Amino acid sequence: MGRWEGKTVIGLTGNIATGKSLVRRMLEHLGAYTIDADGLAHQIMAPGAPAYKPVILTFGQWILDRDKRIDRSKLGAVAFSHPEALARLEALTHPIIGQAIDVLIRRARHKVIVVEAIKLFEGQLAGQMDAVWVVDASEEQQAQRLAKRGLSPAEALKRIRVQNPQAEKLARADVIINNNGAPEATWAQVRAAWSRIQGAAEEEAVQAQVQRVQVKPSTAAAGKMAISSLDIMRGMPRNAELIARLLYERTGRMLTRNEVLMAFGQKSYMLAMVNSTPVGLIGFLVENLITRVDEFIVTSRAPVPPVAAALIEAMERASRELQSEVGYVFLPNDENAETVQAFLQLGYEKTRLEEIKVPAWREAAREAQPAGTQIFAKKLREQRVFKPI
């Protein structure tokens, strides 16, 4: 054990587009509390946050968009083109990020913490970790992934090669996860390494617990099953086929197992089961203290109110465990009235982007909101975890 007594803290790193976030999400599914240091960097540069004015004073007003937010693409174009500019940006942001990470680790109830940071070795973080994991991928794979993010081949290559050599990170790794293959192969490596961590088995057992929810007996509506209890469980790769089946009912598109596993790199799932039959699903992401829900399904054969209430409450419990401050739910504009009512009854309020007062929350909602959806919001804790981030 290192700096944080009673906790095993893993530093997760690797160069751009190697798949760090995929591995971090896999570890979260297994029971780790995870922190995205690079995501915190975005938050501390939001209007009103501590790095906002210093960054503008250093790089100029031209990096702002019309809403006075720092345009990360403009800032990145300068920082990734000039090593001196990147060093200056990091000198402004890294101390603040370090303070935020310390607060989150100390407040986390989990025994295993994962800190994802592309610059883990360039600052003081690496020396504070109990172990370092490095995610590796070929330059060809990196370039392909960056192309999917909209970068040109030349820009992708520039982003890859401006970073410190991947070989230097690999040489200092306690664990190396190769992410050149299918998600199934990556998952197998993560599971194997996880099994060797002190406290990991206990965390995973907690994640795997199935919660039985009693439902108030009522007369089943026409065409709906009568239920007296629901089992709520966290979606895991072993449930990939069940998740694919539920998503097919909603979208009409059957996902492959690999596609579902890739989705595990982006969000968490909670499943509602009746006698081993899936009847509902909620897909959500908790990132930097903000929860976003972008998938919500109750099957046509199940009554909406009890299934919806159980899924929403399970999602909120999981979000609070991850120290989430606020939840945003994105429902289709034509969502059925019963689903909308379920969220309203549990304290969610319909809102618009311009009505969200906290800049970091508004930015997160703006980035996450799918087209053709309405926003429902709920504050999940009275006091923010830390200010002004």
* Nearest to 45, CA basis, from 71, 24, 14: 71
Euclidean distance between CA atoms 23 and 239, whole angstroms: 18
- For residue 261, give the CATH number of its domain: 3.40.630.30
What 3-state DSSP class applies to 131? strand
Q: How confident is the model at residue 387 (pLDDT cuts 50, 70, 90)?
A: low
Which long-range contacts does 76-80 make (Cβ < 8 Å, 24+ apart)?
80/158, 80/159, 80/162
* Nearest to 109, CA basis, from 185, 199, 33: 33
- pLDDT tops 90 at residue 76: no
For the beta sheet containing 131-136, the strands, ordered from the edge strand earlier in sequence to the opposite edge, are: 33-36, 112-116, 8-13, 131-136, 175-178
% of the chain with per-residue pLDDT over 90: 76
Q: How confident is the model at residue 107 (pLDDT cuts 50, 70, 90)?
A: very high
Determine, yes or no, domain membership for 180: yes
3-class SS string, 67-129: CCCECHHHHHHHHCCCHHHHHHHHHHHHHHHHHHHHHHHHHCCCCEEEEECCCHHHCCHHHHC
| Structural domain span for residue 357 | 210-379
CB 351 within 8 A of CB 377: yes
Determine, yes or no, domain membership for 52: yes
The last residue of a domain, from among 172, 187, 203: 203
Half-sphere exposure of 276 (CA within 13 A, CB side): 0
- One domain for residues 39 and 111: yes
Determine, yes or no, domain membership for 3: no
- One domain for residues 96 and 176: yes
Q: Read off the pLDDT of residues 118-144 as tens digits, 9 standing for 90 and up.
A: 989 988 899 999 999 999 999 999 999
The last residue of a domain, from among 153, 183, 203: 203
- For residue 142, give the CATH number of its domain: 3.40.50.300
Q: Read off the pLDDT of residues 342-371 as tens digits, 9 standing for 90 and up.
A: 999 999 999 999 999 988 899 899 999 999
- One domain for residues 62 and 93: yes
> 327 forms bridges with which residues in the sheet?
291, 378
Count structural domains, the chain.
Answer: 2
Determine, yes or no, domain membership for 384: no
- One domain for residues 131 and 151: yes
- One domain for residues 247 and 301: yes
Q: How many CB atoms lie within 10 A of CB 309?
A: 18
CB 230 within 8 A of CB 213: yes
Residue 232: what pLDDT?
97
Average pLDDT, the chain: 92
The last residue of a domain, from among 188, 203, 218: 203
- One domain for residues 38 and 123: yes
Q: What is the mean pLDDT of residues 316-341?
A: 97
Residue 119: what pLDDT?
87
Determine, yes or no, domain membership for 389: no
- One domain for residues 263 and 303: yes
- pLDDT tops 90 at residue 49: no
DSSP string, 10-47: EEEE-STTSSHHHHHHHHHHHT-EEEEHHHHHHHHTST
- One domain for residues 192 and 238: no
- One domain for residues 227 and 286: yes
Task: List all residues 6 or more positions away from 102 whose beta carbon is below 8 Å from its beta carbon.
Answer: none
DSSP 64: B
Task: List all residues 6 or more positions away from 132 whose beta carbon is below 8 Å from its beta carbon.
Answer: 10, 11, 12, 13, 120, 126, 172, 173, 174, 175
CB 129 within 8 A of CB 11: yes
- One domain for residues 19 and 55: yes
Determine, yes or no, domain membership for 264: yes
- pLDDT tops 60 at residue 241: yes
Phi, psi at 229, each rounded to 5°: -155, 155
Q: Would you state the structure tokens that stand for residue 151, as one six-digit string?
A: 């970068």
CB 290 within 8 A of CB 325: yes
Q: What is the mean pLDDT of residues 303-321?
A: 96
Residue 319: what pLDDT?
97
> Which carries the bigger pLDDT value, residue 358 or residue 284?
284
Residue 384: what pLDDT?
83
Q: Read off the pLDDT of residues 197-230 as tens digits, 9 standing for 90 and up.
A: 999 999 999 999 999 999 876 556 777 888 999 9
Q: What is the mean pLDDT of residues 35-50?
A: 87
pTM, entire model: 0.90
Query: Cα angle vertex 15, ends 155, 362, to 5°?
Result: 75
Q: How confident is the model at residue 23 (pLDDT cuts 50, 70, 90)?
A: very high
Q: Which of 28-42, 77-91, 274-288 has the lowest mean pLDDT?
A: 77-91
- One domain for residues 223 and 301: yes
Determine, yes or no, domain membership for 364: yes
- One domain for residues 32 and 122: yes
Euclidean distance between CA atoms 334 and 347, whole angstroms: 20
Determine, yes or no, domain membership for 1: no
- pLDDT tops 90 at residue 79: no
CB 104 within 8 A of CB 144: no
Q: Read off the pLDDT of residues 173-195 as tens digits, 9 standing for 90 and up.
A: 999 999 999 999 999 999 999 99
